[in-house]
Structure 1
């Protein structure tokens, strides 16, 4: 029994990682239904690991599981997204502050390289991947009880809307995000936690305000169930 539990746990973690990557990459848009049996079939697992994977992703804010019904990729309306961004404006700079004295010169060099790579890229998905890596890499060193996990959950819930925002700001030729990334790196090099906090709060606030200017992003209809979903 113990061996079976370990095997199921390992399989559930693997399935969750693969499904997480697919959701963050936009393969499953907000509101998409994800059926447990489909997850098991696609990922070569039984229904127990598939169920565990969906529960794990629910704890991360990526899906919503409804008992005896199924799971759906988390979707937000404009008011919900604004609230999450306002929470991020206050919590995320604090998490960055806690990490400022702990980041090594080599880690900061890595962040600088990511900032330059983002600036050179013309691809939205590449930017999103590097941007996520940049910001989350700033938060790896400070030991927190719940702050880091809370910030990660908020990031996950807003990922699809960051994709929409990124498409808008790139099409408009807006370079401000790149400028702010470089300002954050400079503040980290100086060990200036106040400046790093200030720039990051402004960085998050600007995204929130820009999303509010494009309510159509939140009006997209949820995907309709397929015949398989309706069973």
Structure 2
């Protein structure tokens, strides 16, 4: 990832004039609070309110939530571990930004790792799990707004790739999803619905391979599924232009 560079968009408070008074309050350290702050910032990043390259100012977040900077730092570290934020020592925090080449690398890694994770998960699927997988795939097809579509799609992938004993691999895959999420969202808006039909068909092919226990076919379809998106990303340099 290239070093984050300051851009005009910054994390701004959303609670009006009360923010300043709350910011002056002294509050004790609370792990639950830092988790809640991380979840809120994650939602803003995933939703595009905080785009790649946007600076996140600790003092503004502290004022908004009425906390000291300690839980803010913990929240930012958690987001950095998830790949959503880039921390530069003695400088600040920015929403992670990728170049086209870096995003391509992320997708190449996903092409290799997600089929592997799926192959590890399939032998552990309970017989009754297939109905849930189908339900999740149908939820993807029913989603309309880009944000909802991507969340339901992620739910589907996470569910079919849930592999006990593969925590490190699962966390790596999750981090790669975080890194590529914003650009996939922009691609979805750019492509409108033209790619959705292919996505639905590929999901059904993956489901069929899972249903009959064909691990090799499931791996192949999953790899092709991700490869198709990678090629669209590679041919869309405008995804990486700042607004």
Q: TM-score range, shorter-chain basis?
A: 0.7 to 0.9
Q: TM-score scaled to structure 2, two decimals?
A: 0.83
Task: From 71, 84, 88, give the equivalent of 1:66.
Answer: 88
Counterpart for residue 3 of structure 1: none
Contact 1:8 1:48 in 2 (8 A): no
CA deviation digits over 1:146-178, x for unaligned, max 9?
211111111100000110122233343651011
Partner residue in 2 for 1:19: 41
Number of residue pairs matched by the alignment: 216
Q: Which residue of 2 aligns with 1:190?
A: 212
Using the alignment, how far apart are the partners of 1:24 and 1:105 within structure 2? 33
**Matches of 1:155 and 1:183 in 2, distance apart?**
21
Taking only aligned residues, the RMSD between alpha carbons, in angstroms, comes to 1.7
Q: Which has the higher helix share?
A: 1
Supply the distance in 2 between the matched residues of 1:74 and 1:27 (Cα, whole angstroms).
Answer: 13
1:203 maps to which residue? Answer: 225
* 138, 154, 158: which one aligns with 1:116: 138
| Structure 1 Cα separation of the partners of residues 171 and 195 of structure 2 | 33
Aligned to 2:128: 106
Unmatched tracts of structure 1, length 5 or more: 1-5, 222-231
Contact 2:104 2:230 in 1 (8 A): yes
Residue aligning to 1:172: 194
CA gap of 1:42–1:139, structure 2 versus 1, over 3 A, is farther
Higher relative contact order (CA 8 A, sep 6+): 1
TM-superposed CA distance for 1:17, in Å, is: 1.7
Equivalent runs, 1:132-151 vs 2, <5 Å: 132-151=154-173
Structure 1-normalised TM-score? 0.87
The answer for the alignment partner of 1:43 in structure 2 is 65
